[in-house]
Amino acid sequence: MQRRTLLALAAGGLASPLAAPALRAQSWPDRPIRLIVPWPPGGSTDTIARIFQPKLAEVLERPVVIDNKGGASGSVGATEAARAPADGYTWMLAYDNEATNQTVMRLPYRTLEAFAPVSLVATGPLALVAHQNTPYHSFADVVAAAKAKPDTIAFASSGVGGLAHVSTTLLQQQGGFRLVHVPYRGGGPAVQDAVAGNVPLFMSNVVIISQHIRAGVLRPLGVTTEKETQHVPGVPSFAQQGFAGFSAPTWWAFLGRAGTPEPILRRMRDALAQALADTEVKRKIEEQGADVVASSPEECGRFLSGEIEKWGKVIRDNHITADS
């Protein structure tokens, strides 16, 4: 009798070692989902996550809990996400630092091996801004002053080796001038000092500085998109200011753990696409200075690979390390 029961279970797939993951995938999600934001509250990644979080939770019919794990240019939270079980209950919203950290730091994981791309959520311009009390009314003013007195003008960024830092390094390399880098532990603390005038220049994504640009406290001098952008109207790109071919859009990508069952990855991708397609979600993200992308996992993976390769070369050429 016992043997017949086991055979029947096996025939139904319940005794197979592959059955348990399949059943888990069918019932997913059956508890709250954790979304790691590897940056402190107040930065752009946190802002973007909190815009789509309620709609994503509504679509999945389960709470989506944002867990801010800031530190070391996003690598503390990313390392924790890379070590999480591949069960579909821990995800990460990665920022552009995720690509540059692969070369700047010695990490216990590799992005393309540890994570399963779900979607490129959004992209946007970086903008170099000057405090309203500085004498810099154009990027040409900054270049001229930096050439006259190298290593005397400071610019802030959200951290060492991030896209804001690396792209500004490339501008200096192409333009033959030198600034002093002042790294912060995330965009939130950096924008506070920039608005207070404690640092004259700040290279940042537009998400956390758009309101200060509109208020006139921060003066935009250039953007990192190939051409002008609707998010900073009337401000020319660096490519239009003599830096031919220069392009460094900022980005946010939704990642899962490698090894997560494919049905769960598909379900999350579909739910995220539905959340990002919501009119209010899209409007709020665009108001912050970013454009919703909602790419396929394949497109997201190719994009990440390209970013790691492109900026890895700039980092190596300029000897940028975590202690820069």
Phi-psi region of 197 (alpha: psi -120 to 50; beta: other; left: phi over 0): left
pLDDT number for residue 43: 82
CA distance 218 to 130: 6
Which homologous superfamily is 126-241 in?
A: Periplasmic binding protein-like II (3.40.190.10)
Task: Tell me the per-residue pLDDT of 222-270, one tens digit each, with 9 for 90 and over.
Answer: 999 999 999 999 999 999 999 999 999 999 999 999 999 999 999 999 9
Q: What percent of the chain has pLDDT over 70?
A: 92
pLDDT number for residue 15: 45
Phi-psi region of 191 (alpha: psi -120 to 50; beta: other; left: phi over 0): alpha
Q: Report the CATH fold assignment for 2-123+249-317.
A: D-Maltodextrin-Binding Protein; domain 2 (3.40.190)
- The answer, as to whether pTM is greater than 0.95, is no
Task: Tell me the per-residue pLDDT of 18-34, one tens digit each, with 9 for 90 and over.
Answer: 555 555 678 899 999 99
Tokens matching residue 26: 């069918």
Q: Is residue 6 very low, low, confident or very high in pLDDT (cuts 50, 70, 90)?
A: very low
Please state, rounded to an integer, the average pLDDT across all residues of the chain: 92
**CATH 3.40.190.10 domain residues, the chain:** 126-241
**CATH 3.40.190.150 domain residues, the chain:** 2-123+249-317
The mean per-residue pLDDT over the stretch 180-187 comes to 89
